[in-house]
Structure formats: C-alpha cells, structure tokens
Amino acid sequence: MAEVIGVRFKNVGKVYYFDPDGNQVPKGGRVIVETARGIECGECTMKNRTVDDDKIVKPLKKVVRVATPEDVARVEKNRQKEKEAFEVCEKKIAKFGLDMKLIDVEYTFDGSKILFYFTADGRVDFRELVKDLASVFRTRIELRQIGVRDESKMLGGLGVCGKPFCCSTFLGEFQPVSIKMAKEQGLSLNPSKISGTCGRLMCCLKFEQKGYEDFGKITPKPGSWVRTPDGDGVVTEANVITGKLKVNIHSDSDVRQPPQPYHRDQVTQIPRPNRDDLPPRPAAAPDSRRERPSASPRPERAPAPGAPRSEVPRSGHSRGGRNRRGKNTGRPGGQQPGKKPQ
C-alpha cells in the first residue's frame, strides 16, 4: 500500500500516480512533477489516497512542489507560444511541400522541448523540417505522428448524438472496440451508423457494453419461457435497457392472441415445459381464397372442308401414313386413307 495522488497533464488525458511527498494536494490544484519528458505542470484529479502496490507503475516519482502563481503564469505564457509555433510550423510544412496535417503543438513546462503532433497517410521524411524548426526556436524539436482517434480527441467536436466527443470530454484513454459489441447491443451493423467522426467504431460502444451485460443478466432473452400474470408464454422481443418484453401467451383458446407487453419485473423465467404439458395450439384459419377452376381441355381442331379424316394419331408419324422406319401405319392391311381396297 502506498499514498498517491492522481495527476493529469491534458484536459482529457490519462491519469498518472505520483508520491505526494507529504503534501496535501486538493482536487483541481496544480503540482510540479518530474516525468520522462522533463519537468511538467499537471492538475490533481485525485487527492491523497492509498492504493495497492500492484496498481502502481514503479518507480513512483515524487511531487517536486505545489504550483505557485509564478508557475501558473509560466504555463499560460507557454500556451501563447504554442499558438505562434503552430503558425510557424504550418508555413514550414508548406515550404517543404510535405504531405502532412499539423494538429497540435505542446511546450514542456521548462521550455526545453516543443512537440508537434501531425497526421499523415504514410511515412513522412521530415528531417529537413526538424532542422529548420530547431534553428528558429533554438530548442529540442520532436514531431510525433498520431492516428485519427487521437486527432479527434485533440480537436474535439460533436458526435452523431449531438453531444461533444466522449474521447475529448471524459474518456482518459482509448479502449478496444469490436463489432461484436454493436451486435450484442442490438444496433445496426451498418458501418456508417456505428462509426464516429474519426471513421472508427464509436467509443460509446465500449463503455456502454458493461451496462448491457449487467441488464442482460436479469432480462429474459427472446425464445425463453416466462411466467406472467396472464399465464406462461415465450418471449418474442426484449429491450435490455428499458426492460420491456413482448410475450406470446400459450392458452387453450382457438383464437391466436398477439404478443402481450410486460416489464421484466412482472415476469419470472421458468424452464421450458415438456411438449405434453403445452396446451394445443389453435388451428390455423381455413384459407378463404377461391380455388382456381381446373383447366378445361382444349376442343379438337376441326378438319378443313373436303379433307379426309384420319383415325390414326398424328404424333410421331410422317406424311403418307408412314413412320420413320418406312412402314405403312395407315389402316389395317396397309390401305391408305381415302382409297378403296382392290
């Protein structure tokens, strides 16, 4: 167990633990700490608290001091310098014709380093740009390529719900999101409807998943049997969040009833009954559609006037009453129709 405080360096960033070194830092107060990038000024988001050792990343660094008014003024001065550095870097990017988009600029507290965040479709050779920026600002320059999710988090904006981005308001770090979460939450699997402005799956799918899992444990699933005030039945629809169900009640009535609405608090899930215990299902209504009348046979075509009538079927025979083998298949005795025997 160790006493720590939580410090955040950006408006919506990851929270890091530091040793308060005997200081009682209030929530929202600023402190000066030593990080891997050097001396930084951060905001205390979690006041003094004791946590387990397995939650601490060793070594635990100490707080240098509580920020003074001079320290706060220095931070504000760095913010003004960041705006100037942003404009200078954009001009340099256009000068070298680099295919990159500048997103943000960050000064360290002591001014020993300037970080430029940018996005690009691929690798960018910015060595000449770094040399040019170093000659202008006379300090260490670092260019860091970020992804589209980090870009949305830094720039901010409004999502499809009409509210500010979750990543730029309260999400400290990104969590993996899968299409399976959208399926379990009953959402449309159309990528355009479940993707954020960044083009990736919306972050809200992740932090809402826990609620769907908790409510799903107490909500009967479609196809399960429940006992309602009106009898036993099968769940046909279920809304996990609102708890509303539609149950098809099994009864002895000959008339089929539509599924009835219930709340999950009104029903009790029961095992599936045996087939012999189920009431007989109502018979389907007779088909009222008229049967098509059977097709009447076609009348035989009348022979042409004056033409001799043959009693032999026409199918499969050639002219002259002979079949394909050359045998005479006319009247008995080989007589041709219309001729008298000699």
pLDDT (tens, 9 = 90+) of the chain, 342 residues, equals 888 889 988 877 788 899 888 888 888 899 999 888 888 999 998 888 888 888 888 888 889 999 999 999 999 999 999 999 999 999 999 999 999 999 999 999 988 899 999 999 888 899 999 999 999 999 999 999 999 999 998 888 888 888 889 888 888 788 889 999 998 888 888 888 899 988 899 988 998 899 999 998 999 999 999 999 988 999 999 998 899 999 999 877 666 788 899 999 999 989 988 766 565 555 555 554 555 555 555 656 655 555 555 554 554 444 544 555 555 554 445 445 555 544
Measure the CA–CA gap between 215 and 243, rounded to whole angstroms.
8
Token pair for 194: 């479940």
Long-range contacts of 90-94 (CB under 8 A, 24+ apart): 92/129, 92/132, 92/133, 93/129
199, 119 contact by CB (below 8 A):
no
Measured distance between the N- and C-terminal CA atoms of the chain, rounded to whole angstroms: 132
341, 330 contact by CB (below 8 A):
no
Token pair for 254: 């000959």
Residue 295 is predicted with a pLDDT of 55
333, 321 contact by CB (below 8 A):
no
Nearest 5°: the CA angle 206, 9, 1 is: 80
Is pTM beyond 0.85 here?
Answer: no
At 264 the three-state DSSP class reads helix
Query: In sequence order, which residues have a C-beta less than 8 Å from that of residue 169 and are 6 or more positions away?
Result: 12
CB atoms within 10 A of CB 153: 26
- The architecture CATH gives domain 74-146: 2-Layer Sandwich (3.30)
Instruction: Print burial letters for 15-53: b (CB count within 10 Å at least 16), e (below 16).
Output: bbbbbbeebebeeebbbbbeeeeeebbbbbbeebeeeee
Measure the CA–CA gap between 80 and 328, rounded to whole angstroms.
115
Host H or E run for residue 117: strand 113-119
Residue found under tokens 């405080």: 5
Residue 282 is predicted with a pLDDT of 54
Question: What are the structural domain ranges in the chain?
Answer: 2-67, 74-146, 225-277
**Distances from the Cα of 316 to the Cαs of 310, 312, 322, 328, in angstroms?**
14, 11, 10, 13
To the nearest 10°, the Cα dihedral for 263, 265, 267, 270?
Answer: 130
CB atoms within 10 A of CB 8: 16
Nearest CA to 168 out of 340, 1, 13 is that of 13
Long-range contacts of 331-340 (CB under 8 A, 24+ apart): 337/308, 337/309, 337/310, 337/311, 338/308
At 59 the three-state DSSP class reads coil
57, 17 contact by CB (below 8 A):
yes
